[in-house]
Amino acid sequence: MHPRRRVDEALLRTLVEAQIGRHRSWGLYDRQQSTYLNLVLAHAERRAGRPVNVVWVEGGFPEIFTLQSGTISIPVFSTRYVEMSGMLRKILSVEYFDAALRREQIEFAILRLIGEMALRQGQADLAARSLTLSVLDRQHWIPDLGYNDYEMPPYDEGYAAHWYFAVLHEIGHSIPAPNTGLLADGFMRAAVEVEGLDPDRVPRSLRPDALRTEIVADMFAATMLLETTMLIMEDARGSFDPRVFMGECLLTAAVVELVERCRRFVREPVSDAVAVGTAGLRIREIFLRRQIIDDLRTLFGPQGPPEDVITGALIEVHNSYVAPALREIAPGVAAAMRMAQESEPSTATLLALLRAEATSPNAGIGQQWELRRLQDPLKLSPTRNLLLSELAEIAQTAAPWLEG
Amino acid sequence: MTGLVAVRCPADAILKTPVMLPWLYAGPVTDARIEVLIATADEDDAGVLRVALDPAAPDGVHVFERKNLGGDAPAWLVLASVVVPQIPAILTSIRELADRHRIGSVKVGDVEIVNPTPEQVERLLTEHAPEAPGG
């Protein structure tokens, strides 16, 4: 890149703020701090062979993305993504809920996610309706924790997968994606065909070059996650369990799929668009699983278990851990998306019900907490209508003693 | 020579004076710049905008692709620090793309329009039109 084309700080500021809004707090992540994120970034930097700078957004909207230009690649990491994906991980984890409760909780979580994403996209009506439904007439509450709560130990396979997979994926966009071997155009097209789609009539995201870029970023993330999880666990004196690692990776892929499905729903609530996006993520997951198996084989070495044993373990972990949870949440996800689109009862009616609930002497602490947590995203919204203003006013009635 | 009186004229007054050779200059002589950022969903449109902005951007035009975690629907962001007199020419290019709904957002200085209509770009164009000589 020509030296005069280097992006200066002011231009970077314009670029980032246009993407995240004029947010109260963001900056390049301080690489001098002694944190596990810096350990991960330093390791990824060594492997990628280029410097890594991460934009750290405090709060904001639940999104992680990369700004890329030639050799410049800037991952943008929002702590709100950590919080929302943390909630989804809890709902999907087997130890927390029975099927009925899991279905109910995913419904509220998806409505919340859709609501915040709609705020980001300036879709005020959809945002007001989804956010109102996410806090209305609820009996059980999983607290929407701050990201600091997810910084607590144990520093294990789940911790690393939750915090670092997405950012490692974004860093993976800075490495070359060669059109060779399993990543060649022919394989990419075949994978699309297996999904029942015509590779000549698919959106750009399913064309070989675009698909390959994402797959390479996933593969890079999987390898880096394995290596850095082991580094972190060694530092924290934990003992690494390959089966737990597999489960956490698969869980992370499921969370990414859910978040992206919500984002596509907000952008284009048409089933075809959602289906195409889901096909892309399914193809990526096949390559991700392959990479996990290859990496574990390398880790175990020639004396370790053969490939079919590792593959069998991965399938078993998926079937016993992730697949049942995904089956159980499916009706809840569908219900949330349907409710977000319905016209009856009207959003004004729902807001009236919420006001009555929130201001009643019996208002629940869970609801008060969630309303309090709604105040920030509502302030960040680039657009406003009467419904959103009403919701913001109700959120302001939440008990002030919940602050901090 | 008679009738000619030497006067002193401060440099900033000269710079504020409308140019005397309008066919030579597109606007007042100034090197002030404004940041322009345009978002589009199409890579080819980003290329068109890069070409449109390049002559007006002494430090170059930066085109960034925004990739989401899901890998679909990327956006292209065209960013440059543009010399002020060239803003109308650039907005004219943007208006043509806005007419075909090809622009996701446009930001000129502190003013940002999301999903701009040609009429909104036209208003922005009017705001940035060079002042009429003597006006």
Q: Are B118 and B99 in contact (CB under 8 A)?
A: yes
Name which of A373, A316, A385 is nearest A108 in CA terms.
Answer: A373
Nearest to B66 among A11, A67, A277 (CB): A67
Predicted TM-score (pTM) of this structure: 0.85
Spell out the domain ranges in chain A. Answer: 1-404
H or E element at residue B78: strand B75-83
The ipTM of this complex is: 0.81
- pLDDT recorded at residue B101: 80
**How far are the Cα atoms of A128, B68, B99 from residue A364, in angstroms, in the given order?**
21, 37, 51
Which residue is associated with the tokens 């999104």?
A63
Q: Locate all alpha helices (DSSP H) within A321-402, ordered by sequence.
A: 323-341, 347-359, 365-380, 386-396
What pLDDT digit, counting tens, does each position of A104-150 carry?
999 999 999 999 999 988 899 999 999 999 999 988 888 788 899 99
The answer to whether the Cβ–Cβ distance between B66 and A19 falls below 8 Å is yes
The answer to whether the Cβ–Cβ distance between B69 and A173 falls below 8 Å is no
The answer to whether the Cβ–Cβ distance between A256 and B70 falls below 8 Å is yes
User: Does domain B30-127 correspond to CATH entry 3.40.50.150?
Assistant: no
Residue of chain A nearest B75, judged by CA positions: A67
- pLDDT recorded at residue A38: 96
- pLDDT recorded at residue A270: 66
What pLDDT digit, counting tens, does each position of A298-352 carry?
999 999 999 999 999 999 999 998 999 999 999 999 999 999 999 999 999 999 9
A vs B, Cβ pairs < 8 A, gives: 96
Say how many CA atoms lie within 13 Å of A127 toward its Cβ: 28
Q: Which residue out of A76, A188, A204, A219 would a mutagenesis test of the B interface target, given it has the greatest number of B Cβ atoms within 10 Å?
A: A204
d(CA A3, CA A7): 9
Query: Quick check: B11 pLDDT over 90?
Result: no
> In the structure encoding, which two tokens stand for residue B21, read together?
């050779």
- pLDDT recorded at residue A87: 94
Spell out the domain ranges in chain B. Answer: 30-127
- Which segments in chain A show pLDDT lower than 50? 1-5
**What size, in residues, is chain B?**
135
More confident residue, A285 or B99: A285
- pLDDT recorded at residue A274: 62
B110 confidence band (pLDDT: 50, 70, 90): confident
Nearest to B72 among A72, A166, A280 (CB): A280
The answer to whether the Cβ–Cβ distance between A264 and B70 falls below 8 Å is yes
Alpha carbon of A386: minimum distance to chain B alpha carbons (Å): 20
Listing DSSP states for A303-317 in one string gives: TS--HHHHHHHHHHH
What pLDDT digit, counting tens, does each position of B18-55 carry?
433 333 334 444 578 888 999 988 888 999 999 999 99
